[in-house]
């Protein structure tokens, strides 16, 4: 045949068998749509996440942060910062109705905002509704860290602001530094106004630069002054009162490390450095004389004279009031804290080494530290302090001293004697003095100033995040499988009908290979023509799914606004994979058809094989075993996996039973020949097809419903909560132990039931590693706690691992899916000192309320982030939980507490799984419907093959209703049996938590099942009627 | 027993109308064995289908004195099944069933299971046609002659008063055809069943009591 003729005959055949090729086209379109659509989805979600990085960061390439401290805005005046913006960024919250919305507060120097005005981003605007004014709650930030002892009573402040506009995405409204796809709730306020409110005039804590700035460049433009560190030729003081520990150590180290040349040189300059540490002591006592509430400063030498361990130098004023002389003993008592602000009082007996004029202390300004709330007041009674100061003990004499001398210390003590008690996470000195200006350079990270490049991190997280292509290919697996069946069945039917044609080719001398090739060419040309339509359908599929992900299924993504991103390479890969699947299916169908044609016709009355006979004897045993296993698991074990195994065993058992029953000769069923035998025998005649239909349908129904309805037992997750009933998130770190009765009294929590207990967690906020985040996570947020407390949460420390490194624990899901790591791997966290610290994953705990958080011992936590000292996460349990939660929320409303029950929190995470399972159920149900549709093609083929039988039924006197009934039974018996077995199997598999999926999902499943059954019934009925009507027309 | 008067049957062939039976008349007495011969396409099968009430004539009258004086036009499939047996050239045996089940198939048209009486009769018929040993064999395993015998048994299971046979030996060799011809004679003689057989085999027609030739739509 010439090429032209070949093409012509292919075209003619395509046209002649268009009835079949239409179905093939539909199947190809469907398969291509799901394949390319899923791949497009992957690209689009990834592309959207990448786009989010740009939206989050704008043009920002470098971020400079100042840790818990602040920087002077003068840093922005450096030429290197010409494309930089300074921010005062704080965590805050706003109340909307009964809800507390956590917000990021961005103090901006944009001209458009005046004092008292606020702009919000679009997501927050949507939450606010028509609200035009808002009250912004903020943790009190000032130069002295709130975690230190000498701060004011107020831990939070408020700002009443008027909303003047919405900052769009393009204007940087969705500014966010964390790698999350969730849109942040941002408020933008006038930076100077915010700074003024916080007493942080001229300060910023964040710089965004459009340029890529490296560490060395920052070091070149940064000066200690810009971090509030005042370094003169001979002195060092700090705006934050406490000199950062790095700097103290760096400068002190020069005294104690004479091993290197540099240090030896430095020793010359620094060997006489003096450390000052001012403190507010409770009492100076000698016999019956007491001076209450005095400033005392610790130094390591006084005017060239070292101070020994128990030495105290008293001012003449103090000596006079205490009636002491040199060599006498004086008791000094003061508050100390070990963790949080649990105050203890400690006293030391000191020996009066010297008595000096008060003027001598006044001459050295470094002896006087400037504690806010304590030093800038006119009278002692005006002291605004978090400390429990008893004003009844303050007398006129004390007020007179304060009026004249303010915070001038009344005494000086040896630094070494009090260093441990008076130091805190923010420093161990309030001033330093040198004989000469130190030659050693201070670097930005010494003052906690660090820089990073968020875009690279963001892009890495976005591109390495959840693989939606793979996810949706898995979720749409049943549709792809059904498409293959939908393509295969009409092809089989067509080639069966063309057996005569194929035989003719064989008789004409065509080789089988050539016949296969010709038929393949003809059918594949249809597939090729259908492919572009499939790609178009793929666009529609991905667009629709993206919309659903952002709206109906947003429970899985926690965001909206997904945008279609098209990668040509991905499209090509999708099309090629689709074509490959089609080609393989087509080749397999053609081969099997030709093989069937060349082989002997199969026996219409199949005899049971030996294996089948053996299996059939096992059938009652298997049924008994399955039922026993179900009962035992239901009553005692409640094991979810075992229930799934039971479901599968159920299907296997009834599948083998069906096989046995169909293989049994119908004559063995009963003596008299009856209509049941008639149906049985007809089904038996196409045993292979019916068994295939059974396995496909029963396993399909089982898989879709068992997976779609199975939920991990909620109560199991609740068991791993240590008996705590509430999970509390605080926007303001709580510096007190709420289990302490005096603290409860202080915070108006005394009405809490006595049985109320709290477990507090320190928090170092990093990436959200729960299932709520689609980005890849490298360092999850860390919670610090006493690990012994965590044993009730299922966390067991691994004693095998070396304890040299810091260790953390992660929940199983976050470890596997968000981090893609395993136990023993190492994560790298940046400590407050700027070091990258390896932290070993030492174990896991069950996924539950701490999902997405790493748990670390509080000791390790303090080694890494000593300044992050307050509780930011609390667990609470009480005998009267509702009452306790209400009291806590009201009493601590300034802290912006988000109090949620542990059930609510776990449900929040389960919602993600829930949504994915609903998607699976929906797509799986759709796949099943397609499967049923393709099954009906087989039914049609069977009915066509049964035409002689139907004619004979008619000729024999069978009435039409009876023939319809027989045909319906023959074609529906096995499919309905399979659906029933599969559905019961799936019910068995969800027995661990039968109502876990919720009523709506169960109803959805029921509707899907009903639709499948109705479609099957009416589809088969329609085809039976069509077949019978066609026969009528023959007569 | 039955009488066809001026029966005309036309079939549409595109825009043309083809008259297959043209004012055909036939009288059949109870217990007769009639052979109808004619060339291929003469209308033998059409005539048998009209006799078997599977087709209705366009013109003419079909009178049939059977039980309750039912007229062919109102004959229900069930009653037809009781009164008329069919034997086809291609046997029309159902391959998924055994010999036994194929024979008993017509008994299920009116009730859900065969009775003992019907099964006894089926056995007798099998013995009568000489294939009792093949009772439980699949019909696909039988020879052409054996299949025809099964078809005859099936046609006779309801003890019909009329047996219509359309080229029953058309696919058989001479020896088998002769055997089947004899069998028809025995059925007619021993069971007193009226037989109308369409054939174009002269040898086969010889066994009938009367032979008609169908030509130009008329019986000669």
Please check the confidence at residue A507 and state whether its pLDDT lies above 80. Answer: no
User: Which stretches of chain A sit within 8 Å of chain B by CB?
Assistant: 603-605, 666-667, 670, 672-678, 681-682, 684-685, 948-949, 951-959, 962, 1035
- Residues in chain A with CB shorter than 8 Å from the CB of B115 are 672
Q: Which neighbouring-strand residues pair with A841?
A: A808
Of the candidates A1025, A1018, A1034, A1023, the residue with the CA atom closest to the CA atom of residue A948: A1034
Residue-averaged pLDDT of chain A: 85
pLDDT in tens, B62-82: 887 655 555 665 566 666 777
Comparing A502-516, A800-814, B40-54, B62-76, the range with the smallest average pLDDT is B62-76
- Residues in chain B with CB shorter than 8 Å from the CB of A677 are 101
Element holding A43 (H helix, E strand): helix A18-57
| More confidently predicted of A323 and A11 | A323
Of the candidates A790, A761, A738, the residue with the CA atom closest to the CA atom of residue A862: A761
pLDDT band at A260 (very low <50, low <70, confident <90, very high): very low
- Any A CB within 8 A of B81 CB: yes
**Inter-chain CB proximity B101 and A672 less than 8 Å:** no
Please check the confidence at residue A714 and state whether its pLDDT lies above 80. Answer: no
What Rg value do the Cα atoms of chain B yield, rounded?
17
Q: What is the mean pLDDT of residues B192-203?
A: 88
**The pLDDT of residue A330:** 95
Residue of chain B nearest A951, judged by CA positions:
B92
pLDDT band at A1035 (very low <50, low <70, confident <90, very high): very low
Task: Report which listed range, A257-271, A322-336, A434-448, is most confident.
Answer: A322-336
Mutate to test the interface with B, among A957, A959, A966, A1034 (most CBs of B within 10 A): A957
A411-414 and A289-299: which strand pairing?
parallel
**Inter-chain CB proximity A674 and B49 less than 8 Å:** no
| More confidently predicted of A725 and A634 | A725
Q: Which two tokens stand for residue A191?
A: 């930076």
**The pLDDT of residue A482:** 86
**Inter-chain CB proximity A675 and B113 less than 8 Å:** yes
Residues 6+ apart with CB under 8 A from A462: A46, A49, A50, A52, A53, A179, A775, A776
E strands, A670-785, where?
A: 726-734, 757-764, 782-785
**The pLDDT of residue B77:** 66
**The pLDDT of residue A1000:** 81
Please check the confidence at residue A577 and state whether its pLDDT lies above 90. Answer: yes
Residues 6+ apart with CB under 8 A from A392: none
pLDDT in tens, A626-671: 888 888 888 887 777 888 888 889 999 999 888 888 887 766 656 6
Please check the confidence at residue A1032 and state whether its pLDDT lies above 70. Answer: no
- Any A CB within 8 A of B159 CB: no
DSSP A214-270: -HHHHHHH--GGGGTEEE-SSEEEETTSSPPHHHHHHHHHHHH-TTSHHHHHHHHHH
- Residues in chain B with CB shorter than 8 Å from the CB of A957 are 77-78, 80-82, 106, 109-110
Contact (Cβ atoms closer than 8 angstroms) between residue A871 and residue A739: no
Map out the domains of chain B as residue ranges: 2-219
- Residues in chain A with CB shorter than 8 Å from the CB of B55 are 1035
| More confidently predicted of A43 and B109 | A43
Please check the confidence at residue A261 and state whether its pLDDT lies above 50. Answer: no
* B19 to chain A, closest Cα gap in Å: 16
Residue of chain A nearest B45, judged by CA positions:
A1035
pLDDT band at B170 (very low <50, low <70, confident <90, very high): confident
Mutate to test the interface with A, among B85, B98, B102, B109 (most CBs of A within 10 A): B109
Percent of chain A with pLDDT over 70: 92
Please check the confidence at residue A8 and state whether its pLDDT lies above 80. Answer: no
Residue of chain B nearest A666, judged by CA positions:
B97
**The pLDDT of residue A499:** 85
> Residue for token digits 């999970």?
A727
- Residues in chain A with CB shorter than 8 Å from the CB of B105 are 678, 952, 956
pLDDT in tens, A936-948: 888 888 888 888 8
pLDDT band at A602 (very low <50, low <70, confident <90, very high): very low
* B210 to chain A, closest Cα gap in Å: 26
**The pLDDT of residue A297:** 95
Name the phi and psi angles at A534, rounded to 5: -65, -40
In order of A46, A679, A950, the CA distances from A962 in angstroms are 59, 12, 11
* B53 to chain A, closest Cα gap in Å: 10
Comparing A240-244, A300-304, A340-344, the range with the smallest average pLDDT is A340-344
Name the phi and psi angles at A650, rounded to 5: -60, -45
Q: What is the mean pLDDT of residues A527-550?
A: 93
pLDDT band at A474 (very low <50, low <70, confident <90, very high): confident
**Inter-chain CB proximity A959 and B77 less than 8 Å:** yes
pLDDT in tens, A206-219: 999 999 999 999 99
**The pLDDT of residue A129:** 86
> B 106-135 residues with CB below 8 A of A?
106-110, 112-116, 119
**The pLDDT of residue A5:** 46
**Inter-chain CB proximity B92 and A1035 less than 8 Å:** no
Residue A682 has its nearest CB partner, among B96, B104, B116, at B96
| More confidently predicted of A753 and A370 | A753
> Residue for token digits 């559905």?
A983
For domain B2-219, say whether CATH 3.20.80.10 is its number. Answer: no
Please check the confidence at residue A258 and state whether its pLDDT lies above 50. Answer: no
Residue of chain B nearest A670, judged by CA positions:
B113
Percent of chain A with pLDDT over 90: 34
- Residues in chain B with CB shorter than 8 Å from the CB of A954 are 77
Residues 6+ apart with CB under 8 A from A266: A254, A438, A439, A440
pLDDT in tens, A217-248: 999 889 989 988 888 888 899 888 888 877 88
Q: Which neighbouring-strand residues pair with A534?
A: none
- Any A CB within 8 A of B96 CB: yes
Residue A681 has its nearest CB partner, among B96, B109, B115, at B96
Map out the domains of chain A as residue ranges: 1-57+471-601, 62-214, 229-442, 603-719+909-1035, 720-908
pLDDT band at A615 (very low <50, low <70, confident <90, very high): low
Please check the confidence at residue A255 and state whether its pLDDT lies above 60. Answer: no
**The pLDDT of residue B71:** 60
Contact (Cβ atoms closer than 8 angstroms) between residue B207 and residue B11: no
* A660 to chain B, closest Cα gap in Å: 17
Q: In what side-by-side order are the strands of the sheet with B33-37?
A: B84-87, B162-166, B194-198, B33-37, B210-215, B218-219
CB pairs under 8 A between A and B: 86
Contact (Cβ atoms closer than 8 angstroms) between residue B168 and residue B208: no
**The pLDDT of residue A717:** 66
pTM: 0.74
- Any A CB within 8 A of B12 CB: no
**The pLDDT of residue A727:** 93
Burial readout A383-401 (b: 16 or more C-beta within 10 A, e: otherwise):
bebbbebeeeebeeebeeb
Q: In what side-by-side order are the strands of the sheet with B59-64?
A: B16-28, B2-13, B59-64
Please check the confidence at residue A266 and state whether its pLDDT lies above 50. Answer: no
Distance CA A294, CA A405 (A): 11
Distance CA A1006, CA A995 (A): 13
- Residues in chain B with CB shorter than 8 Å from the CB of A1034 are none
**The pLDDT of residue B67:** 54
**The pLDDT of residue A1016:** 92
Please check the confidence at residue A813 and state whether its pLDDT lies above 90. Answer: no
DSSP A896-944: TEEEEEHHHHHHHHHHHHHHHHHHHHHHHHHHHHHHHHHHHHHHHHHHH
Residue of chain A nearest B55, judged by CA positions:
A1035
Distance CA B15, CA A560 (A): 66
Please check the confidence at residue A440 and state whether its pLDDT lies above 60. Answer: yes
**The pLDDT of residue A265:** 33
pLDDT band at B106 (very low <50, low <70, confident <90, very high): confident
Q: What is the mean pLDDT of residues A77-95?
A: 90
Of the candidates A195, A112, A123, the residue with the CA atom closest to the CA atom of residue A159: A195
**Inter-chain CB proximity B81 and A956 less than 8 Å:** yes
Of the candidates A253, A224, A228, A248, the residue with the CA atom closest to the CA atom of residue A441: A224
**Inter-chain CB proximity B108 and A681 less than 8 Å:** no
**The pLDDT of residue A218:** 92
> Residue for token digits 């058309």?
B170
pLDDT in tens, A862-889: 888 888 888 999 999 999 999 999 999 8
Comparing A413-417, A548-552, A606-610, A724-728, the range with the smallest average pLDDT is A606-610
């Amino acid at each position: 045949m010439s090429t032209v003729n070949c093409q012509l005959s292919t075209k003619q055949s395509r046209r002649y068998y268009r009835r079949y090729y239409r179905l093939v086209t539909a199947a190809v379109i469907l398969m291509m749509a799901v394949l390319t659509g899923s791949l497009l989805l992957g690209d689009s979600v990834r592309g959207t996440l990448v786009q989010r990085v740009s939206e989050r960061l704008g043009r920002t390439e470098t971020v400079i942060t100042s840790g818990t401290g602040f920087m002077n805005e003068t840093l922005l005046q450096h030429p290197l910062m010409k494309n930089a913006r300074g921010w005062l960024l704080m965590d805050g919250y706003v109340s909307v109705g009964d809800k507390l919305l956590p917000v990021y507060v961005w103090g901006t120097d944009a001209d458009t905002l005046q004092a008292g005005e606020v702009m919000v981003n679009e997501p927050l605007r949507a939450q606010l509704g028509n609200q035009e004014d808002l009250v912004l709650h903020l943790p009190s930030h000032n130069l002295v860290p709130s975690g230190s002892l000498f701060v004011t009573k107020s831990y939070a402040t408020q700002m009443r602001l008027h909303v003047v506009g919405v900052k769009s995405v393009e204007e940087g409204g969705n500014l966010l530094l964390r790698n999350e796809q969730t849109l942040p709730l941002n408020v933008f306020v006038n930076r100077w106004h915010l700074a003024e409110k916080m007493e942080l005039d001229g300060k910023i804590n964040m710089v965004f630069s459009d340029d890529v700035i490296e560490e060395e460049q920052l070091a070149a433009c940064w000066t200690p002054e810009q971090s509030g560190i005042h370094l003169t030729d001979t002195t060092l003081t700090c705006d934050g009162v406490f000199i950062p520990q790095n700097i103290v150590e760096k400068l002190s180290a020069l005294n104690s490390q004479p091993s290197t040349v540099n240090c030896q040189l430095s020793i010359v300059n620094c060997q006489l450095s003096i450390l000052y540490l001012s403190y507010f002591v409770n009492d100076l006592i000698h016999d019956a004389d007491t001076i209450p509430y005095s400033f005392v400063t610790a130094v390591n030498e006084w005017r060239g004279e070292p101070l020994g361990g128990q030495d105290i130098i008293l001012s003449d004023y103090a000596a006079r009031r205490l009636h002491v002389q040199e060599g006498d003993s004086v008791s000094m008592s003061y508050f100390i804290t070990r963790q949080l602000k649990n105050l203890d009082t400690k006293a030391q007996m000191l020996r009066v080494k010297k008595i000096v004029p008060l003027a001598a202390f006044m001459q050295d300004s470094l002896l006087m530290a400037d504690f806010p709330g304590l030093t800038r007041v006119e009278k002692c009674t005006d002291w605004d302090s978090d400390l429990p100061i008893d004003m009844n003990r303050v007398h006129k004499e004390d007020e007179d001293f304060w009026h004249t001398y303010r915070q001038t210390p009344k005494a000086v003590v040896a630094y070494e004697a009090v260093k441990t008690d008076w130091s805190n996470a923010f420093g161990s000195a309030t001033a330093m003095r040198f004989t000469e200006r130190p030659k050693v350079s201070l670097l930005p990270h010494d003052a906690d100033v660090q820089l990073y490049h968020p875009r690279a991190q963001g892009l890495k997280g976005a591109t390495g995040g959840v693989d939606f292509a793979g996810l949706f290919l898995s979720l749409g697996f049943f549709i792809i499988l059904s498409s293959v069946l939908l393509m295969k069945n009409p092809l089989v039917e067509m080639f069966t009908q063309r057996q005569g044609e194929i035989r003719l080719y064989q008789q004409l001398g065509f080789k089988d290979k050539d016949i296969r090739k010709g038929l393949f060419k003809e059918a594949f040309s249809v597939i090729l023509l259908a492919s572009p339509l499939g790609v178009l359908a793929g666009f529609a599929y991905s667009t629709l799914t993206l919309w659903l992900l952002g709206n109906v299924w947003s429970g899985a993504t926690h965001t909206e606004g997904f945008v279609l991103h098209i990668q040509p390479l991905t499209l090509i890969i999708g099309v090629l994979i689709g074509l490959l699947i089609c080609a393989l299916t087509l080749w397999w169908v053609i081969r099997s058809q030709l093989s069937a044609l060349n082989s002997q016709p199969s026996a219409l009355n199949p005899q049971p094989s030996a294996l089948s006979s053996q299996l059939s004897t096992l059938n009652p045993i298997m049924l008994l075993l399955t039922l026993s296993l179900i009962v035992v698991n239901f009553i005692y074990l409640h094991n979810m996996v075992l229930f799934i195994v039971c479901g599968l065993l159920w299907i296997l058992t009834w599948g083998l039973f069906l096989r046995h029953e169909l293989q049994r000769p119908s004559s063995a069923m009963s003596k008299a020949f009856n209509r049941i035998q008639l149906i049985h025998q007809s089904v038996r005649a196409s045993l292979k097809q019916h068994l295939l239909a059974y396995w496909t349908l029963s396993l399909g129904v089982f898989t879709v419903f068992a997976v779609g309805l199975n939920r991990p037992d909620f109560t199991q997750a609740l068991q791993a909560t240590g008996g705590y009933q509430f999970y509390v998130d605080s926007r303001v770190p709580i510096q007190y132990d709420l289990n302490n009765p005096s603290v409860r009294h202080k915070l108006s929590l005394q009405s809490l039931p006595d049985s109320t207990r709290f477990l507090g967690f320190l928090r170092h906020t990093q990436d959200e590693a729960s299932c709520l985040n689609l980005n890849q996570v490298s360092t999850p947020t860390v919670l610090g706690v006493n690990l012994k407390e965590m044993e009730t949460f299922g966390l067991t420390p691994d004693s095998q691992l070396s304890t040299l490194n810091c260790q953390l624990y992660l929940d199983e899901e976050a470890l596997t899916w968000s981090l893609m790591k395993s136990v023993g791997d190492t994560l790298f966290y940046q400590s407050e000192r700027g070091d990258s610290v390896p932290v070993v994953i030492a174990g896991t705990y069950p996924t539950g309320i701490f999902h997405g958080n790493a748990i670390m011992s509080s000791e390790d936590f303090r080694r890494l982030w000593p300044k992050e000292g307050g509780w930011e996460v609390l667990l609470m349990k009480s005998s009267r939980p509702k009452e306790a939660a209400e009291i806590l929320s009201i009493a601590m409303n300034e802290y912006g507490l988000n109090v949620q029950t542990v059930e609510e929190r776990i449900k929040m995470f389960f919602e993600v799984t829930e949504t994915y399972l609903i998607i699976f159920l929906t797509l799986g149900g759709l796949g099943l419907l397609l499967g049923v549709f393709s099954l009906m093609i087989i039914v049609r083929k069977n009915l066509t093959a049964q035409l002689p039988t139907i004619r004979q039924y008619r000729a024999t006197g069978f009435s039409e209703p009876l023939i319809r009934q027989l045909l319906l039974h023959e074609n529906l018996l096995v499919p309905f049996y399979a659906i029933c077995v599969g559905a019961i199997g799936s019910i068995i598999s969800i027995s661990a938590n039968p109502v876990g999926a919720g009523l709506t999902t169960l109803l959805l499943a029921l509707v899907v099942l009903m639709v499948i059954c109705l479609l099957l019934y009416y589809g088969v009925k329609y085809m039976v009627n069509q077949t019978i009507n066609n026969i009528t027309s023959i007569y | 027993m039955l009488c066809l008067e001026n029966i005309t049957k036309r079939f549409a062939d595109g825009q043309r109308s083809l008259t297959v039976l043209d004012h055909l008349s036939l009288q059949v007495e109870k217990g007769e064995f009639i052979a109808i011969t004619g060339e291929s396409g003469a209308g033998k099968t059409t005539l048998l289908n009209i006799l078997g009430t599977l087709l209705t004539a366009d013109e003419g009258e079909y009178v049939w004195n059977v039980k309750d004086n039912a007229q062919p036009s109102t004959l229900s499939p069930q009653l037809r099944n009781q009164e008329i047996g069919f034997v086809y050239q291609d046997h029309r045996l159902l391959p998924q069933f055994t010999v036994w089940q194929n024979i008993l198939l017509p008994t299920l048209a009116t009730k859900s299971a065969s009775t003992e009486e019907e099964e006894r009769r089926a056995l007798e018929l099998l013995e009568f046609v000489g294939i009792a040993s093949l009772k439980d064999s699949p019909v696909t395993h039988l020879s052409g002659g054996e299949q025809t015998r099964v078809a005859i048994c099936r046609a006779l299971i309801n003890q019909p008063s009329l047996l219509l046979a359309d080229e029953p030996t058309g696919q058989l060799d001479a020896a088998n055809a002769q055997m089947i011809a004899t069998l028809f004679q025995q059925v007619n003689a021993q069971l007193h069943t009226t037989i109308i057989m369409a054939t174009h085999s002269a040898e086969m027609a010889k066994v009938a009591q009367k032979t008609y030739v169908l030509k130009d739509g008329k019986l000669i």
